[in-house]
Every structure is written in structure tokens, then in C-alpha cells.
Structure 1
Amino acid sequence: MMDNLRAASNHVVLKIILGLIILSFVLTGVGNYLIGGNGDYAAKVNGQEISRAQLDRAFNNERSRQQQMLGEQFSQLAGNAGYMQQMRQQALSQLVDEMLLDQYAKELNLAISDEQIKQAIFNQPAFQTNGKFDNAKYLSLINNMGFSADQYAEALRKQLTTQQLIAAIAGTDFMLNGETEALAALVSQQRVVRQATLNVDALAAKQQVNDDEINAYYAQHKNSFLAPEQFRVSYIKLDAASMQEAASEADIQSWYEQHKAEYVQPQRNRYSVIQAKSEAEANAMLAQLKQGADFATLAKEKSADPISARKGGDMGWLEPSTTPDELKEANLTSKGQLSGVVKSSVGFLIVRLDDIQPEQVKPLAEVHDAIADKVKQEKALDAYYKLQQKVSDAASNDNESLASAEQAAGVKAVETDWFGRDNVPEALNFKPVLDAIFNGNLQGENGTPGSNSDMITVDGDRAFILRVNEHKPEAIKALDEVKTQIVATLKHDKAEKQAKAQAEKILADLKAGKQDALTAAGLTFGEAKTFTRSDRDAIVQSLFALPQPQAGKPVYGTSEDMQGNIVLLALDEVKAGSLPEAQKKAMAQGVAQNNAQLVFDALLSNLRKDAKIKYGAAVQMQ
């Protein structure tokens, strides 16, 4: 049992348990179970096919995830064909595992009810507005993904079934009371120890070092004494934000008239629907409505779509961009108008247009301040780009200095002190700027000034023109520069060896019963201190590795403190500690969860071992 007590926070079972019901996984992953593709398959698992389309979607999802997480670093990885192929293989391996779990869940007859599906949809935050389920948002999102309500529900059923399987596995392990108590006793154990310290710095002060030793160390460690590459740079910075001026009312009015279309709220319609599985059933309900039946009551009682039925068929307010094609094709134009039977991908619909909000244009007073900001920004950007071109031309025409560029920009260039890659001035700390300095061709020969840079743009509408005034390449420091450092290192090394040798001799004498060995070395043990495993002290690991002492007979050992001194240990006593019940419970749950993870590992391993898995040509990068 103790062999299983290990860190497992990144284990696959935790990732699956935490990820299964997260919307982003559902929206990007569940389609893999439903959407096939033409062409070569990626794999067949016990005869069930994973299509190329499924693999491409899983691969693209992982690619997007890594791109968001790694940012610019991902562009370098994406250029490595081997890395991308490995990512594709991992995506396929995940799809195979998901299919194996799905097949195993079916063998166990695990099932998810329609009510559970409904509640899972209702509880998804992405389908909610102000904390309440929004049917219009739900239908718009799944329609944009290419799902009908039935397809989405079936995909979600597969995910929840797999979750049920994993939850069953994760809940199978437990610890006996005796095991828990034994582990708690071990974890809470306390040790009483006395310490005597051999001060390495004090011994180092007494060491002697000769020139031969210094020269030999310098020759062997020259690469440790590199002086980094250094630069001194002059630069001119242009910033659009500093060029903003107040916008006139005439400018604001003109901008509003030219962009009025941006402030139009398109017509919105509110629909209600009743969904039927057959045309005959839809016609029967349509007849009832024409005879005066209440639409909302009929929708709640008989609509085949449980989501819209809950609200009496109400779909909420829809703009043209979010209105499903079936509702548009009903051609309803007046409030209260009822459609005929409309055939759709989910069955047959009866649609009613409940209300209309006509197109509206926001008045200038309502958007005045926002437009003023835009006018200021546009004017500033226009002036910024014109100045940028002017300064760039001046820097190109006079490539021997920044004097002409300074005159064009109306500012004096800033000159930095010496700096390297590890201490870049904050004002220049932008990747394009650093690339130009460190990886460009701006240095002259033998440390002389080079050419002016091109205009370098960075985020936030800022730009730089710069030149390298002086450059010092990476070089090995002269012996005179590092002699003091070498002497200190050699003395410390000698003192450390002396301290370790002295400690080993004293330790051997103490174990042999020579109690005056410590006194002879001019050392004494300090007062006894009690330590626990959780204490943050450098000696703790060595202390708890010592065997338990017999009554009245200390156990001796050595360790090092945080300053690198050698510490002699005299372990006098081991005492039992205690843990709060809540901590014991949490510890037992952690061990049980870890064991459940091992069981899950074994399950997946056995499923793969027993499965017939055949890989197709689509596994390779296309």
C-alpha cells in the first residue's frame, strides 16, 4: 500500500474526471463520436471506425489548445514535423482510449436517462443568461456547431456514460482503519535531536591557496568566466497614444453620419415552436391551434423538444444571424402569425411569430463619447503613420547617425548604458526590438557603430528606430578580473573537504563509544530540538533517515544546513505524534484516489491488450 503513495496530480484519470463535463471539451470533442468523414480511416477499434475527420478535429483542437497556452513559442514547435506528428499520434491515442471506454461502458449496460441529459444541458453555464437557461442561446450555439438537438443530446449521453464508468472506478478503493492509523503515525512522527556544526566559512578563512592552484582552476573553468555580449544603443520611440488630440463636434458628427450603419440594431423576432416527430402529428396539433388551443400549453404537453417545451415553446429574441433557417423559411411577417407544418432536420415544426422589434438606430447623443474616442484614435493613428514614414525615410537617407531622424521626429534620441540579454532596458523590452539588436546586422566591425535599423513596430501602435552605438562580443574574462573569486572558491572547496573528513572521523569515534571525540574537536552538541517531517529545515531528510535509537543510546549521523555547513546529529528519541481527524480522512482519501488511478491505468491497459486495433493511412500527417 505504501508503494502506491505517490504524487498523481497530473494523472490521466484526474484529467478525464475534471474534463468530461467542461463545456469546451463537450463542444469540441463530442462531435468526434458523431461526425464521420470520407477517405481513409484513422483506426478501427474492435471493428468500430475512427474516421480521418474525427482525428483531424481532435488534432486541430489540441493544436489550438497548445497555441493558446504557448503563444509565440508554439510557432517554433509547429515548424517541427516530428513534434506535430507526435501530437497527431497522441490525439489518436486519446480517441482510441475514449472509444474503448465507451465500448466497455456498453458491455456493463451503463446508461444515462433523458432526464439526466436534460439537467446536464440546463446546468451548462454557456447555455445560460444571468444564471438561467437560455433556450435561444442553446439552439444558436449547437446550430453553429452543426448539431441538431437530438445529435447534441446523443453525444452528451456518450460523455456522461463514460463519466459514470470512471466515477465507479474512482470510488472502489478504500483504506482500512488500521492502515490509516499506521500511516498517520508514520507521517506525524517526531524526532528529538541535538546538533553540532562544523562552520565551513570559518575553516575556509584558514586555508591557503597558491598561484599554481589558481592558474589550474582558471584553465579548467574558463567557460565559467564568460563576460556576456554587451550593447550600447540609441533609439527614437514613436507612440500613437501620445499623439491624440481632442475631437471637434463637426468631426464627431461627420464620423457618425459616415458610420451610421454600425449603430443599427437589426430587427429582432421572437418565435415559439412546437416540434413533432411525424407530419401527421404536426398536422393534428396545427388543427388544434386553429381551433383555439393555447400554444404554450400544447407545446409543454406535446412538443418533442424538451428544452423549448419547458418554456411553452418560447425561443426568445432572435436576430437574423441567429435565427435557424427553418424559422426563416416559415416566412412569418406579422405578430401572432402561425405557420403551417415546416419540415426540419429534427422533425416537423409549427412556428408562431410572437413579437417583432423593428430595426433601430442609436441617436448620436447615446454614442457621442465613444465616437469622440474613435475620432481621436483615428486622427492620432493617421498622424502616427505619417510621422512613422517621415522618420523612416530620414533614417534611411542619413544612415550614419540618428540626427536626421531626430529632426524629423521632433525628439532627441535616447542613449542607453551598456546592457546584455539578461538586463535589457525596460523601454526596449519588446521581442521585435530585441531581435533587431541581438540577431540583426546593426553592429559595425570591431565594436564600431553600425547602420540605422528599419522602422520596428510593436504592439500598442508604437514603433522604434535604433542604432547600435557600441558592441562588445562575448569574451572570457582575464584572470586578474576573476582571481579573487577563484581564491574564494578554492578555499571553500578545501574547507568543505576538511569539514566532511573531520565529521566522518568524529562520527566513527562516537559510534565506537568515544564520547570525548566531540570535545577534542572543540565542538559541543546544542540543546535538544524536536522536528517533524513537515519542518522546513535542511537536516530533516537526513534526520528521518536515521534508524530509531535504543533506550539511552543516541544514533549519530551527519547532514548539511542551509549555509552548506556540515552538521553532526545525535538522535536521542522518536516520539509519536498525532493528526487531526480531518487530516487523516483527507490523507486516506488521497491514497484511495491514487489506488483508484492505478486501477484505471490497469483497466485501460487491459482494454488495449484485449482489443483489436488496426491503424489506417490517415494516422500520418496530411
Structure 2
Amino acid sequence: MKYNRKPELESINGQKRKLKTKPLILLIGILLAFNIFWFIGWLIPDKSKQTDEEVASVAGKPITREQWMSAMEKEVGRETLLELVNEKVMAVAAEQYGIKVSDKEIDLEIALIRSVDGRSHSGQDEDEMRQKIRSNLILEKVLTKDVVVKDKAIKKQFDENTALYNVLTAYRTAIIVVPTKTDAEQTIDELSKGSSFDVLAKERSTDLASASLGGDIGYINDSTDSIDKKIIETVSDANEGSTSGVIALSDGTYAVIRVSEVVKGQSFKFNEVKDHIKRELALEQLPQTVSPEAFWKEFDAKWFYGN
């Protein structure tokens, strides 16, 4: 019957020959496998080339990526890894003890921190700051979960420190400090032509602490006493995203500032800060300060630097 016949092809000279399907399928499979292996090889980077890659040179002598990465690991590797491990440990602790941290709680902590010490988070972006606060809140909740604090004590703490919970408007500020008025005018001119504030701060600012952070001095407000009063006056009238003119400072130097964010002030009611106050009073009852490392053994934390 016709449908049982094997496939046939017409040859050039009119003769018929059978089509051999198995060798053809095998050949296609080999070619397909070759292409897959080639694609995988193309995706996987050549580590030897990566480590030998030149990232800089001095007097014709190269600095390789491997040297660069090794130097960074020695400089900040231990501290960075420590933060990552502690964040993971606290995340596991939260899951283990059924502890939750809401965005509203983090917002409250940020507001209170800004009102007391806005410079504590200078150089950090919003996500980094929130993650650190989240981990710290988990730690505090784990440590204080069994500590008893009476409502009367919490209310007394609130009544005696109401000013702490009336948060002033804060301004995320960056600064470039230069020796002369001419230097400040030149800085403003370059900024108007599109130069980066961060880069100019690192290159020119004589305030070394902020210069290394691109001029960032964190959040300041009307009560910040560690900042020149002229800067406070200037930011109080500034809009978000604005850059100032020349500011004459009390020590004889000059400054140009940029306000990247304005956080409106707010007053917190007792019920909004009750849990925060309770944790603070509970922590005062603990015999000693405890860090996330105290939980490493409990949650089987291991790292590159050993015990």
C-alpha cells in the first residue's frame, strides 16, 4: 500500500532513490549540539582575560583588574561582607521569631534620625539607608521581645521629650567649599555649563570630609548646630534640586551648595511613636550592647574570613 512505502527522491537522470532519513537527522543533531556548545562558550567569560584586563596605567605600566579587585577587597572587603552577612542573619532571625518591620516604622526611624543627626547617613542612597534601618529594627525587636515596659513609663518619656517628636523640615545638602569668592564664582559658572556637582566637590572642596562623598553633608535643618548658620539660612529658602549662589562663610571661606531633597517636617502623636519609645526603654534595661554577630552561631553563619 502507498502509505507503507519509504520516501523517495527523483534523481537528475530520472532514476529514483530512497531518502535515508536517519543519517540526516543525526547530522542535524550534531550541528545543533555544536551550535549550543559554541553559544554557551561565548556566554561564559574568559577569566584569564578578565583578571589580566588593564583598567589603568601609569607611565606605561598597567594596573590590572585583578590588582584593582584585590586592593578593593583589602580596603573594604571585610566590612562590606560583614554588613551583608549581618543583614542576612537579621532576615533569618525575623523569619524565625515571626518579626515584621513595616515601611511606616522605617519612615519614622528615618525622620527621627534626620532630626537629631542628619549627617549620619551622608553618602548613602535611600535604599541602602532603609535596609540598614530595617536590619537594626529587627535586631532591636529580637532583643527586646521579652522585656516588659509599663505604659506609664512610655507616656512619661513622650511627655518629657515632645520636642524630639516634632520633626523639622530637613534638607539633603551637598557643599563645595573654596578659599576665595573668585573660586566660588568659577565653580558656579562651571555648574551652569553642565559640570557635575559631585565631581567638582571631589576636585575642589577644601572640606575633605564631604568632598570624598561628592559634597554630601546629609540632612540639615534649622536646629543643626554643627553647620555654619549662613548655610542653614540659605537652605531654609531653597527649593528641591536648586543650587545656591556664592555663600560667604564665617571662617572666611566661600561655599556653593546644592539641595537635592526637601523632607517636610511633621509632628508625631503618642500612638505613632509608642512602640519606638518602648523599644528604647527596653534596650536601656539590657545589661550590654548586642550586635548581629551574637546570632551567627544560632543561624549557622559562615564567611570567608573564618570564625
User: Do both share a fold (TM > 0.5)?
Assistant: no
TM-score by length of 1: 0.19
Higher gyration radius (CA): 1
Say which structure, 1 or 2, has more relative contact order (CA 8 Å, 6+ apart).
1
